[in-house]
């Protein structure tokens, strides 16, 4: 267990180092000027541009810039956002909460509704199964920005049940604001999880030991819990883990559509403006979240199936 955690920590450090270099290099190679975001598309006086270039050391060679960034980052200083004229760490700190809450709420929706629908469809052939198939096909086909617009128009604009803009303050208000975005974010992932759940439940139902258990007259409830769901849980956990982790990146689209100032929306804005330090900072948080999330999924395997030793992935 200790070795596992250490291995994962080492992996995290390597992943952060590699991705920080790749992102830095990518942004450097991409054409564009980080100072452009300050002007709103009019010409800026050359003297001011020069002073700003010197202030942010934009004319240093690439490796020097990266080295500088790395030395500061290791000491916990993620640098300054050029466009927002603010510490990157502060910016991230102010936004990470709402994105985490959004993804968490979406994850709850995926796990409850996705797994629930999948089990239901897997166990009940006929109209229920068909209905779930139709609904999930539809959901899987809807991109999150369309889901956002439709949800907003129906539940925010016409019915007025939920707000259309922003993230709200305080727990209840925040939850109220995040319901629609979380549904928009969860919709297509929910469909995938439901489909995989349905398939693995079906597969387990047809296994010999399950049929044997049923034929021996064991209570259906017990068979389902011990033999079907338990064995179906590993593929379900795998696909749920991956889809939920992918939401971290997808949240950008939904955040923008609902005017939520989260990490994703900020990352998109920063990338468009070539705001190097901010892109770096947010990307690293996302990479770290992904690595940590994957580790958690692996731990879940071990809990679900004692035969799985921590660190070796089940098939």
Partner 1 sequence: MRRNRWGTAAAAVAAAIAIAGCGRAADEGGTAARTTEATAQDALALDPTTPPATGDVDAITWATYRPVQTIDPIQAFDYPDNTAVTLLCESLLRQHPDGSIGDGLATASHPDDTTLVLEIKEGATFWDGSPVTAEDAVYSLKRNMDERLAGFYGSVFARVESIEATGEREVTIRLEQPDTWLEGELSQMPGVVVQKAYAERQGKRFGTPAGGTMCTGAMKLDAWTGGDALVAVRNDDYWGERPSSVGRVELRGVPDDANLTNGLLTGEIDGTYLAGPLATADQLKASGEVTLYEGPSYATDALVVSAAEGPLADVRVRQALSKAIDRRAYIASAYKGTALLPRTLANPGTWGYGRDVFQADWDRLPEPELDVEAGRRLVEGAGATGQTITIGMTEEIPNLATVAQVVRTAAEAIGLKVKLKAVSAANYINFFVDPKAWSSVDAFPTVNYPDYADPAAFYATFALPGGSQNYSGYENPRVTELLEEARTTADPQRRAELVAEAGDVLAEELPWIPIVAPATVLIMSNEITGAPASFSYMGAPWADTIGAKG
Taking CA atoms, 56 is separated from 45, 49, 70, 157, 276, in Å, by 17, 11, 15, 44, 11
Write down the least CB distance from residue 286 to partner 1, Å: 17
**Cβ 66 vs Cβ 84: under 8 Å:** no
Applying CB under 8 A, the span of 59-67, 81-89, 232-240, 307-315 interacting with partner 1 comes to 81-89
| Residue 145 contacts partner 1 per CB under 8 A | yes
**CB of residue 54 to partner 1, shortest distance in Å:** 9
Is residue 277 within 8 Å of 79, Cβ to Cβ? yes
Rule CB under 8 A: which of 154-213 touch partner 1? 156-160, 163-166
CA distance linking residue 234 with residue 241, whole number of Å = 10
Segment interacting with partner 1, rule: CB under 8 A, options 71-79, 132-140, 261-269, 287-295: 261-269
Question: Looking at beta carbons only, is 46 or 126 nearer to partner 1?
Answer: 46
Cβ at position 283, least distance to partner 1 in Å = 17
Residues binding partner 1: number (CB under 8 A): 55
- Angle 276-304/230-257 helices, nearest 10 degrees? 160
Which of the residues 11 through 40 are near partner 1 (CB under 8 A)?
A: 31-33, 36-40
State the Cα–Cα distance between residues 229 and 216, nearest whole angstrom. Answer: 19
For helices 263-272 and 88-109, the axis angle rounded to 10 degrees is: 130
DSSP secondary structure string for all residues of 183-223: HHHHHHHHHHHHHHHHHHHHHHHTSHHHHHHHHTT--HHHI
- Of 303, 298, 308, 306, residue with least CA distance to 5: 298
Among 57, 86, 124, 313, binds partner 1 (CB under 8 A): 86
Q: What's the closest the beta carbon of residue 218 comes to partner 1, in angstroms?
A: 52
Binding residues for partner 1, rule: CB under 8 A, are 31-33, 36-49, 51-52, 55, 81, 83-87, 90-91, 94-95, 145-146, 149-150, 152-153, 156-160, 163-166, 256-259, 261, 266, 269, 272-274
């Amino acid at each position: 267990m200790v070795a596992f955690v250490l291995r994962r920590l080492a992996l995290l450090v390597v992943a952060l180092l590699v991705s920080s270099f790749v992102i830095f290099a990518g942004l450097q190679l991409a054409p564009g000027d980080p100072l452009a975001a300050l002007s709103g598309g009019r010409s800026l006086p050359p003297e001011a541009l020069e002073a700003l270039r010197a202030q942010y050391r934009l004319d240093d060679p690439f490796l020097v810039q990266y080295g500088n960034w790395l030395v500061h980052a290791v000491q916990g200083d993620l640098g300054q956002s050029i466009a927002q004229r603010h510490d990157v760490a502060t910016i991230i700190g102010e936004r990470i909460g709402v994105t985490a809450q959004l993804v968490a709420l979406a994850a709850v929706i995926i796990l409850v509704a996705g797994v629930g629908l999948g089990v239901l469809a897997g166990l009940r052939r006929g109209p229920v199964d068909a209905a779930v198939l139709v609904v999930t096909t539809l959901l899987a086909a809807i991109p999150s920005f369309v889901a956002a617009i439709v949800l907003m128009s129906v539940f925010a604009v016409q019915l007025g049940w939920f707000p259309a803009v922003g993230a709200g303050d305080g727990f209840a208000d925040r939850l109220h604001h995040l319901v629609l975005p979380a549904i928009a974010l969860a919709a297509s992932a929910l469909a995938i999880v439901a489909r995989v759940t349905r398939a693995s439940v079906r597969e387990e139902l047809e296994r010999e030991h399950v049929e044997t258990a049923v034929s021996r007259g064991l209570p259906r409830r017990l068979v389902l819990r011990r033999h079907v769901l338990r064995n179906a849980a590993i593929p379900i956990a795998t696909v749920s883990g991956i889809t939920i982790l992918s939401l971290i990146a997808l949240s950008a689209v939904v955040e923008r559509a609902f005017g939520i100032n989260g990490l994703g929306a900020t990352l998109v804005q920063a990338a468009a403006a070539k705001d190097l330090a901010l892109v770096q900072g947010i990307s690293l948080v996302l990479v770290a979240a992904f690595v940590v999330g994957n580790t958690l999924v692996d731990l879940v395997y071990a809990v679900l199936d004692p035969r799985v030793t921590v660190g070796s992935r089940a098939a």
